[in-house]
């Protein structure tokens, strides 16, 4: 019998809504495994569910991603075996020590990559995979703008874009973050606290502007991001770190140059087994080959989940937090 400590919520609200509870974990059902989790990722989407920005059925165990070792396999499981190290990028209920989980959510983890690195970056890395390899196939001919270039998604995106050969302009809010963005391969870094980023992009590109903007900041950057795009450029609004963008008058897309706009989410790019496996493999391969390096933020005990949420949204950190169950 396995007992598991979980961080649960019974109401939405600020980071103090978590309740730590111990429960007995049922054996795995057919096509499930029982997972002993070793490291858990903490993502903005967890804060959106916690705060009520995204709808959530209560009570809930939050968290989408973790790494662990398979303890038991259920009936009919042939793809995985007990003792194997696996991870998942998008399956609610991660803030716990042990859990059962459908095998269709799992991906194998290569030996050379450690648990904390995977927990801190699998969801974010698979996000960059679909943004650059499937939503729009980024090429060496593209010039792109990545907001929050020193953030979790940002650091992966800058390194991956440089590996492709694209020209990368990144925005950041401090000199320290500018340094990180440069190290991650940004060709040009704009401190958007000190400089108007539309003017800076215009100067850098000599008025040509960029082919694609990747905007995970949202409210504070969305409208101005449209002004950084060339005619028929692509606006990818993929997050709300500063709040969700204000409503858009669709005519603006025409006025600003027949722009394309998409608001994607990882769930819609991991709709079946093939997409999950391929996306994870592409990202984990970049890690294994050290083409992407991850700077992890602070590590917290699962019981300190409130601190981990506060840390994630605090703006001056570099690196994503990890929970250790």
Q: How far is CA 87 from CA 12, 44, 194, 280, in A?
A: 27, 19, 40, 9
Shortest spacing between CB 291 and ligand NDP, in angstroms: 19
User: Which of 96, 95, 122 has the alpha carbon at shortest distance from 107?
Assistant: 122
- What whole-number distance in Å separates Cα of residue 227 and Cα of residue 95? 40
| Closer residue to ligand NDP, CB minimum distance, 36 or 317 | 317
| Closer residue to ligand NDP, CB minimum distance, 38 or 240 | 240
| Closer residue to ligand NDP, CB minimum distance, 39 or 150 | 150
Query: Where does this chain bind ligand NDP (CB under 6 A)?
Result: 43-45, 123-124, 127, 148, 150-154, 172-173, 177, 216-217, 220, 238-242, 264-266, 313, 315, 320
Shortest spacing between CB 162 and ligand NDP, in angstroms: 17
Shortest spacing between CB 29 and ligand NDP, in angstroms: 29
- In the chain, at which residue ranges do the beta strands (DSSP E only) sit? 2-9, 18-25, 32-41, 60-61, 66-73, 85-88, 98-102, 107-108, 143-146, 167-172, 188-191, 210-215, 229-237, 260-262, 296-301, 320-324
Q: How many residues does the chain have?
A: 325
**Could you tell me what percentage of the chain is helix, strand and coil, using 3-state DSSP and rounding each to the nearest 5?**
35, 30, 40
Distance of alpha carbon 226 from its chain centroid, rounded? Answer: 22
| Closer residue to ligand NDP, CB minimum distance, 84 or 187 | 187
CB 217 within 8 A of CB 148: yes
Shortest spacing between CB 276 and ligand NDP, in angstroms: 13
Shortest spacing between CB 160 and ligand NDP, in angstroms: 13
Shortest spacing between CB 43 and ligand NDP, in angstroms: 5
- What whole-number distance in Å separates Cα of residue 83 and Cα of residue 207? 56
| Closer residue to ligand NDP, CB minimum distance, 257 or 264 | 264
| Closer residue to ligand NDP, CB minimum distance, 41 or 233 | 41
Shortest spacing between CB 18 and ligand NDP, in angstroms: 19
| Closer residue to ligand NDP, CB minimum distance, 32 or 221 | 221
The three-state DSSP-derived secondary structure of 274-305 is HHHHHHHHHHHHHHHCCCCCCCEEEEEEHHHH
């Amino acid at each position: 019998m396995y007992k598991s400590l979980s961080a649960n919520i019974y109401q939405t609200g600020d980071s103090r809504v978590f309740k730590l509870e111990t429960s007995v974990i049922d054996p795995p059902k057919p096509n499930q495994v029982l997972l002993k989790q070793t490291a858990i990722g903490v993502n903005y989407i967890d804060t959106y569910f916690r705060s009520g920005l995204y709808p959530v059925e209560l009570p809930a165990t939050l968290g989408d991603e973790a790494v662990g070792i398979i303890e038991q396999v259920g009936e009919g499981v042939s793809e995985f075996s007990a003792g194997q190290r696996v991870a998942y990028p998008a399956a609610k209920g991660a803030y716990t020590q042990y859990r059962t989980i459908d095998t269709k959510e799992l991906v194998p983890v290569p030996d050379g990559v450690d648990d904390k690195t995977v927990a801190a970056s699998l969801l974010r890395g698979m996000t960059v995979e679909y943004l650059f390899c499937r939503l729009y196939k980024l090429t060496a001919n593209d010039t792109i703008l990545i907001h929050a270039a020193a953030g979790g998604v940002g650091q992966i995106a800058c390194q991956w874009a440089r590996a492709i050969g694209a020209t990368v302009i990144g925005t950041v809010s401090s000199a320290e973050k500018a340094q990180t963005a440069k190290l991650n391969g940004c060709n040009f870094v704009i401190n958007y606290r000190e400089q108007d980023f539309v003017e800076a992009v215009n100067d850098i590109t000599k008025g040509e502007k960029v082919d694609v903007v990747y905007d995970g900041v949202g409210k504070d950057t969305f409208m101005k991001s449209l002004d950084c795009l060339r005619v028929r450029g692509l606006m990818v609004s993929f997050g709300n770190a500063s709040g969700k963008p204000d409503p858009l008058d669709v005519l603006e897309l025409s006025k600003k140059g027949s722009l394309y706009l998409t608001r994607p989410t990882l769930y819609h790019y991991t709709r079946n087994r093939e997409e999950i496996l391929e996306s994870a493999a592409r990202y984990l391969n970049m890690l294994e080959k050290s083409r992407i390096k991850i700077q992890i933020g602070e590590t917290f005990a699962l019981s300190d989940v409130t601190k981990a949420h506060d840390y994630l949204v605090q703006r001056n950190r570099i690196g994503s937090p990890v929970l250790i169950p």
